[in-house]
A and B are shown apart, each in its own frame.
Chain A
Amino acid sequence: MGKSINFAEARHLVARTGLGAQWKYIKKLEGRTREQAVQIVLHPKISNPPSPPRMTSWNVRMNMHESKNPQHKMKMHKISVQEGRRLKRWWIQQMRKTPSPMVEKMVLFWHGHFTSSLDKVEQPALLYKQHMTLRHHAMGNYASMLKAIARDPAMSVYLDGMLNEKSNPNENFARELLELFTLGHGHYTEKDIQSVAKAFTGWSVNRYQERFQFNKEEHDGSAHKLLGKWVKDGDDVIRVLLEHPRTAMTIAEKFWNLFINDQEPDARTVQVWAKQFRQSHYNIKTLLAAVLNSDAFWAEENRGGLTKSPVDLVIGSLRTVPYKYAKRFTDKDVEGILALLGQDLFDPVNVKGWKSGMDWIDAETIMVRSSMVNKLTGDSLNAKTNKGYEFPDASPEQYQQWLLAQKPVKALPTIPGKVRLVRALALDPMYQLM
């Protein structure tokens, strides 16, 4: 048995795998062995999101869109914007309330990996469907998720798969499949992309039923070379890509930047993870276990080496800091702040997803981040009553370990008081890191 983890280590595991650093979760893991704690984290309670907001079907949308009456077209656009915003808030609500934040963290990660956007797809109903697919596979199997995504209607619209026809192959999905989802840039040729595009011709969408549809008459059907192997259709392509060692490496590298630090991944470490991932036939929990049990994950010098994403900062703070002010941030407020900070849900900035690491912070976002934290902790510093707060009973040293990954940069207030202390810690530059 390994040695048991202390408060700071438990805090590290909670913050990196969840949303925020909730006191009760930290306490639950404190004192267990690393392996036990990781096991608990990897087997979160099932927490199904509430039922989704009502969304107009594609079919109805298209009829309105194609209507001769210009009012219909305008109205349709308005409806899809409204429904899209409701969908964003629906997820925000789930992220704020869930007892299993790791699931949400992984779903968010996969949304950034397998990007599609409301902006291009314009169909909240399809994005919801994709979200549920990603949720289903989030901590399951990558190979299954990849196969599902290759047939996902929102993806088909987003990366023009539905326009990919025998007479006029469209390379958009093929390129991103190789560059972003599997091999990574530099591990394939333009010829490989053309082969993949042809193999996926005819993989389309049935707009009436909002599901995948294979159009045989639009399918190329002849054999093409991909990475030296012959492929005829999309499933052949996916098989070849899953056999290639780069696919597991691509995911392992991304996990380094999700869980370890903002820097270039350590080549030897990610190779070990990728090997285990591949040998498990792409079991995501196997990869997560490898990451969370690694020396790199627990290394002291990596604490505070990861920039909080907007979701980590905003939703994490609302979950962590027991302020009555947290309730004053409505889901609509959160939606707006996330967009200002560059993490508009269901609307990643481009095909590569949202930003990550140090790129989250620039002059514009640092001001929004500071004002958000300022507003959240901006209660009267000398409040006599603790009404509305649920402050843990602990020493100032432990408060520091609770809210910050490393020592604060600025000096802490000398006047006692938990409100003042929490505010000072949250406004410290270190609070932007985890």
Chain B
Amino acid sequence: MNRREFAKLAALTPFASILGMTPELALSADAEPAGTTGKRILVLVDLAGGNDGLNTLIPQVKQQKYIDLRPTLAQKKVIDIGTGVAMHTSLEPLKSWWDKGQLAWIQNVGYPKPDRSHFRSRDIWETASSSDHQLVDGWLSMVLPAREHGLHGIVVGSGLGPLAGKQCRAVAMHDPRTFVKQATLVEQAECETSNPSLAHIIDVQHQVHGASNLLKRSIRVQHVDRFFRPSNFNNDLKSVAKMIVGGAGASVYKVTLPGFDTHAGQAVTHKNQLHYLAEGLDSFAKAMQNFKLWDNVLVMTYSEFGRSLSENLSGGTDHGTSAPQLVMGGSVKGGQLYGDSPDLNNLDSEGDIQYTTDFHSLYASVAERWWGFENPWPQHAPISFV
């Protein structure tokens, strides 16, 4: 580790002051651009509200049950990807990535005894727990802190979610520019104290300033803008692209596309949501490709649950169980499906589909196959999508 790297890390490490470093010194270091260090990055896309997986990756029209149970929502016009399932027409911008072999679907992802509460099911996914057990820290806190010494994650949005936990060095922000501005309001103090509560505050303040410093260059990155048309989701992805290009140095970035809780009038809403998703990811992928960073990036979606197989009386769907998730990136072994399709003839007591791939397997793949770390969930084998 050279002096510059050390200084960069010290800004984010607890008790930087005790290491005999002044904040000016700790924060003066310029970050290395991610592209030159070849750091492998995970971009999590949170489809908040519960994405209707059955209308994202659609059972082929032969599935009479799907048509019967969804009188107005069953998709007749689809994008055939030649696999027995088809993509929603709104996902058109993603078709070329599938064809290039850089996008894959993992089918029917869920967990045993699915919980249909937004909060609880989200907690289960984000902490990698189960229906029967509550955990507090996010799943990435089981993967990154022991092995990764830099900044672990940046959430664009609010709530650390999968990056929560004392061991994770992660920050949430609405956008880097505001973050850097707000960080100036946070005091920065040096003191040696035996009071652990005070030490923690000072430590977090250092984290804020450390992250802010790493972000300053990202704000100035201009040439990313042209890839993104204006929309909220595109703006968040643009921020992520700028941070990656600008060398903010985090291992994980997380963005959220809300609006998937489609209890009523789903046809239009869901179509729009999937369009935002596809357009955003297409732009993001092109930007990454342009900066030759695409091979170092893995995009992965998640959502707290899928939706009910049956359409309700309001032209919507209610909280359900499992759903497909997509992975994308220059290193993804794409153009294919992983895991089994849901069996519409083997439903649970609520009449919903039963998961066939446990979400822990996706996390195991990220830990072991993407980052080369030990799999913290040995009972769940990784999937070879990357």
Contact = CB atoms under 8 A, between A and B. Distances in A.
A429 B205 contact: yes
Contact of B187 (A73, A304, A340, A410): A410
Contact of A261 (B171, B187, B197): B197
Q: Is the interface of B mostly helix, strand, loop or mixed?
A: mixed
B106 interface: no
Contacts of A409: 189, 191, 193, 198, 202
B22 interface: no
Contact of B207 (A351, A363, A429): A363
Contact of A304 (B166, B198, B202): B198
A120 B117 contact: yes
B134 interface: yes
B231 interface: no
A350 B137 CA distance: 13
Interface stretch (B178-186, B299-307, B320-328): B178-186
Interface residues of B, number: 40
Interface in B306-323: 313-315
B160 interface: yes
A366 B134 contact: no
A432 B201 contact: yes
Contacts of B313: 68, 70
A363 B208 contact: yes
Contact of A350 (B123, B187, B207): B123
Contacts of A351: 134
Interface string B156-196: 00111000001000111100000100110111010101011
Contact of B197 (A73, A358, A371, A410): A358
Interface string B98-138: 00000000000000000001111001000000000010000
A429 B202 contact: yes
Interface in A54-80: 68, 70, 73-74
A305 interface: yes
Contact of A429 (B123, B171, B198, B315): B198
B211 A363 contact: yes
A427 B159 CA distance: 24
Contacts of B117: 120
A306 B186 contact: no
A351 B201 CA distance: 26
29 contacts: A70-B314, A73-B314, A74-B314, A261-B197, A262-B196, A263-B196, A304-B195, A306-B197, A340-B158, A358-B200, A361-B201, A363-B170, A364-B158, A364-B171, A364-B173, A366-B186, A366-B208, A367-B182, A367-B185, A370-B185, A371-B182, A406-B195, A409-B191, A410-B189, A427-B187, A429-B187, A429-B202, A430-B198, A433-B197
Interface of A: 68, 70, 73-74, 119-120, 261-263, 304-307, 340, 350-352, 357-359, 361-364, 366-367, 370-371, 374, 406, 409-410, 427-430, 432-433
Minimum-distance CB pairs A-B, first 7: A70-B314, A363-B171, A409-B189, A364-B172, A358-B200, A370-B185, A367-B182
Given A261-B197, A429-B202, 15 more contacts: A70-B314, A74-B264, A120-B119, A262-B196, A304-B198, A350-B134, A361-B204, A363-B172, A366-B186, A366-B204, A367-B179, A367-B186, A429-B187, A429-B205, A433-B195
